[in-house]
Amino acid sequence: MSLARVHNFAISLDGFGTGEGQSHDAHFGHAGDRLHQWMFATRAWQQTGGSRGVDNVFAEEFGPGIGAEIMGAGKWGHPGWHEDPEWKGAWGPNPPFHTPVFVLTHHPRPSIEMEGGTTFHFLDTSPAEALATARKAADGKDVRIGGGPTVIRDFLAAGLIDHMHIVVVPILLGRGVRLWDGLEGLEKDYAVEATSSPSGVTHVTFTRTGA
């Protein structure tokens, strides 16, 4: 069974998955890199060196078993990327996905093949249809729902997420895009666990009953 999984998705204690004022030079707006410092410190991120504790073992779940990713237009590029025909995503020539990646956008363009196995495809469709398309491309493997917050919220609201790993970072961003809006009672369909880390973050996992 091919699952839809969220990994390493960081929010502030007040629930923002990205800050305000996203731009070419500030992918997460005024949040800067504060939502992801826990991850940059891990061996999973650094490849050699880095921490090997609970933050790392969670971070390492990102890749295994994944055959495709779905992401939102706001993750793929800053506001206005669709006016730049040369834009190829924020990750350089060899993005860290190494699978087909489906970008949900009202401005689709031809697919872009990158180094390392990542190909960006562009879809203007619903979460359920995007997931069906990504599953086909994943060839039996799982599909990562990569964010940002609006995309994850839409997939949760549609009941499409099987497993979700959220990282609560102990900062108050005050403004930006909230993850949790409109999801009252979500916990009823999931087993929820919280694991705090010596780094200060708390890993919260939602695993769908039976998934």
Strand intervals (E) in the chain: 4-12, 16-18, 66-72, 100-104, 112-113, 119-123, 142-145, 163-169, 177-178, 190-196, 202-208
Pairing of strands 66-72, 100-104: parallel
Q: Which residue in the set 59, 173, 177, 207 belongs to the binding site for a copy of itself (CB under 8 A)? A: 173
CA 211 – CA 195 distance, rounded (Å): 20
CA dihedral 165, 167, 173, 174 (to 10 degrees): 50
Q: Which stretch binds a copy of itself (CB under 8 A): 110-118, 126-134, 146-154, 163-171?
A: 163-171
Residue 129 in the binding site for a copy of itself (CB under 8 A): no
Secondary element (H or E) of residue 3:
none
Q: Which residue in the set 3, 82, 180, 211 belongs to the binding site for a copy of itself (CB under 8 A)? A: 180
Q: Which residue in the set 84, 124, 129, 193 belongs to the binding site for a copy of itself (CB under 8 A)? A: 193
Q: How many Cα atoms within 13 Å fall on the side-chain side of residue 9?
A: 29
Residue 174 in the binding site for a copy of itself (CB under 8 A): yes
Residue 85 in the binding site for a copy of itself (CB under 8 A): no
Looking at the DSSP bridge assignments, the partners of residue 121 are 102
Q: Which stretch binds a copy of itself (CB under 8 A): 71-79, 109-117, 135-143, 198-206?
A: 198-206
Q: Which stretch binds a copy of itself (CB under 8 A): 57-65, 125-133, 144-152, 167-175?
A: 167-175
Q: Which residue has the tokens 């880095």?
A: 50
Residue 202 in the binding site for a copy of itself (CB under 8 A): yes
Q: Which stretch binds a copy of itself (CB under 8 A): 70-78, 88-96, 118-126, 189-197?
A: 189-197
Please give the residue ranges that form the binding site for a copy of itself (CB under 8 A): 13-15, 168, 170-175, 180-187, 192-197, 200-202, 204
